[in-house]
Amino acid sequence: MTAQTDNTLKSIDSEVFNLVRSEESYQRSTIRLIASENYTSRAVLEACGTVFQNKYSEGYPGARFYQGQINCDALERLAIDRAKALFGAEHANVQPYSGSPANLAVYLAFAKPGDTILGLNLSHGGHLTHGSKASVTGKWFNAVHYNLNPDTGLLDYDEIRRLALEHRPKLLIAGHSAYPRQLDFAKFREIADESGAILFVDMAHFAGLVAGGAHANPVPFADVVTTTTHKTLRGPRGAMILCKEVHAKAIDKAVFPGLQGGPHNSTTGGIAVALKEAATPAFKEYAHAVVANAKTLAAELSAKGFKLVSGGTDNHLILIDLTNKGITGKEMAIALEAAGIVLNYNTVPGETRPAFDPSGIRLGTPSVTSRGFGVGEMKRIAEWMDAVASDAKNTDKLASIARDVATLCSGFPVPGID
């Protein structure tokens, strides 16, 4: 059997090739406000498509179950060292396939089925894996939840303390997927110590802001920290677990063999590159620009009558309750997509509508900041969103906005693509 002389994607599978090209065009011509999405650099994309894809590496560097690991070991050690240095961690595991498996590894390391965990309510900005009944974490553990203060939309640390002392959770979870403010990790540490809990921080959404000095670092306060490596960190779709050295063996054992087989070595390469990029002065500027853009966009939307949960933002994301606008979150998200602006519908605190058609939307600025959008562009986005909210069924208007959006986007190159 002879090797093919032309084995490029285009020649082998034109259907997949065309979908890739179509997605490139879509990412170029739309404004991406999904708070959990971003653009990786060309270097990260290249690292994710190397011959490391051909390797299988069960185990850890120096202790694999396969031979031929000299380069895989060196690559993983490089990613580990960079993660520890960037976040000031004593130990790092870079093997989790994504954020949810990373969180499950923490539960496996520290808890048993039936143990109590305490985390932020999903409808108040928490994550499925923080004990939602829709998740295995809400089925296997006794999940208790804290809520945002109904008057301020902020975390109520006195209430968190009360619940922690009442329920004595094995794990106190600090982290979110839709909370627009910074967390007070010192207060969470105090509550964990007083209640005898392990402090588990899920910083998947704001890890890049931490790396860039635009958000407080939870690592010095937490027993264990999980994060995805995409979102604000601008890496590939993967995850990491950072922890105190005393917990290193438990965490590593939970990841492998507890939950996973061999790591995705090509993704490990992409993580290593992203961590190197995140340690640069340019990335620090980027992280601060993400927050500045979010604050500007929040202020502009608030001035146009949008009801922002907590009244604004301290990080990269904004959560909006659209009840006063007479449109549901899903209707708004669909209309905005037709107008070239992509975000997601989302539940809000005190939600009265079904999760598949809730009252709110969630948006963030990581992707647009990666393209170089600034204050002026944030103001235009707010104007377009206001126009869509007031006339969401006017297809001609939506199409006109989409053309304007594409024109604006044409002036901002796409990282990793252009």
Does residue 208 have a known ligand-binding role?
no
Does residue 126 have a known ligand-binding role?
yes
Angle at 331 between CA 299 and CA 178, to 5 degrees: 50
Which residues have CB under 8 Å from 93's CB, separation 6+?
80, 105, 240, 241, 243, 251, 252, 255
Does residue 122 have a known ligand-binding role?
yes
Q: Is the peptide bond before 257 cis (omega within 30 degrees of 0)?
A: yes
**List of E strands, 111-257:** 116-120, 142-146, 171-175, 198-202, 224-228, 239-243
Q: What is the largest CA-CA distance in the chain?
A: 71
Calculate the alpha carbon distances from 281 to 127, 138, 169, 276, 288 in Å. 31, 41, 40, 11, 11
Q: Are 242 and 91 in contact (CB under 8 A)?
A: yes
As annotated, the active-site residues are 56, 58, 202, 228, 231, 237
Does residue 316 have a known ligand-binding role?
no
Does residue 383 have a known ligand-binding role?
no
Euclidean distance between CA atoms 11 and 15, whole angstroms: 10
SS3 109: helix
Residue 175, φ and ψ in degrees, nearest 5: 155, 170
- Binding residues for (6S)-5,6,7,8-tetrahydrofolate, as ranges, are 122, 126-128, 245
Binding residues: 122, 126-128, 245
